[in-house]
C-alpha cells in the first residue's frame, strides 16, 4: 500500500469512520504515555478482526533498554484479553514525518497479527499506510524453525 491509497475525502478529512475512530483512540492512548526522558509520546490502536479496539502507549524508563513501545503494549494487551486475529494497527506519533513501528514491534506484529495494515498518523492527520510485509520484507518466523 502506498500513501496514494489513503481513503480521504478532500473536504472533510478521513472518510472511513473506523479509521477515524482508530486514529482518535491512538491519539487518546498517546496521552497516557510515560515518556519523561525522551518526551516522544506514541499511541497505538490495534483493531481485532471483530472490530474491537485495543490501545497502548509507550512506557519508557531511565535505562531506555527496558522501554516498551505503544504497538507492543497494544498487542500484548489484546493477546492477554484473548484476541488472536487482527485487521490493522494505527500508530500516532508527534513528528510531521511518518513514524513506523520499530524492528521489534514489526517482528511481533508479524508473528502475532500477520500481514496487517499499518496506518501512520501524527497530531494533525494520517501520514501513511503500509502493510507489515512491506515494513518487514524478510521476516523470521516459525516456518524457519521446522
What is the tens place of the pLDDT at every residue in 37-55? 999 999 999 999 999 999 9
pLDDT of residue 5: 37
Task: Kindly state whether residue 117 falls inside one of the protein's structural domains.
Answer: yes
Residue 3 domain flag: no
Distances (CA, A) of 37 to 44, 70, 71, 140: 19, 16, 19, 32
If you search the block for the grid coordinates 510485509, which residue do you land on? 133
pLDDT recorded at residue 14: 59
Find the catalytic residue in 47, 71, 117, 126.
71
71 flagged as catalytic: yes
pLDDT at 3 over 80: no
Range of the domain at 85: 13-145
What is the value of pTM for the model shown?
A: 0.88
* Of residues 16 and 83, more confidently modeled: 83
Domain at 28, CATH number: 3.40.140.10
Count Cβ atoms below 10 Å from residue 71 Cβ, excluding itself. 29
Instruction: Return the pLDDT at 34.
Output: 98
- The answer to whether residue 8 is domain-embedded is no
**DSSP label at residue 106:** H
- Mind listing the pLDDT tens digit for each residue in 110-133? 999 999 999 999 999 999 999 999
Number of domains in the chain: 1
Q: What is the pLDDT of residue 13?
A: 54
Residue 18 lies in a domain: yes
Q: Is residue 4 part of a domain?
A: no
User: Which residue shows C-alpha cell 482508530?
Assistant: 22
Amino acid at each position: 500500500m502506498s500513501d496514494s491509497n489513503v481513503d480521504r475525502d478532500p473536504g472533510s478529512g478521513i472518510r472511513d469512520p473506523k479509521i477515524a475512530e482508530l486514529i482518535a483512540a491512538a491519539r487518546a492512548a498517546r496521552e497516557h504515555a510515560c515518556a519523561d526522558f525522551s518526551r516522544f509520546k506514541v499511541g497505538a490502536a490495534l483493531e481485532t478482526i471483530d472490530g474491537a479496539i485495543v490501545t497502548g502507549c509507550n512506557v519508557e524508563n531511565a535505562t531506555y533498554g527496558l522501554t516498551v513501545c505503544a504497538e507492543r503494549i497494544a498487542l500484548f494487551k489484546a493477546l492477554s484479553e484473548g484476541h488472536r486475529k487482527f485487521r490493522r494497527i494505527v500508530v500516532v506519533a508527534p513528528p510531521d514525518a511518518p513514524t513506523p513501528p520499530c524492528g521489534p514491534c514489526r517482528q511481533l506484529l508479524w508473528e502475532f497479527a500477520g500481514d496487517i495494515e499499518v496506518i501512520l498518523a501524527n497530531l494533525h492527520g494520517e501520514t501513511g499506510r503500509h502493510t507489515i510485509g512491506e515494513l518487514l520484507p524478510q521476516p523470521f518466523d516459525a516456518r524457519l524453525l521446522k
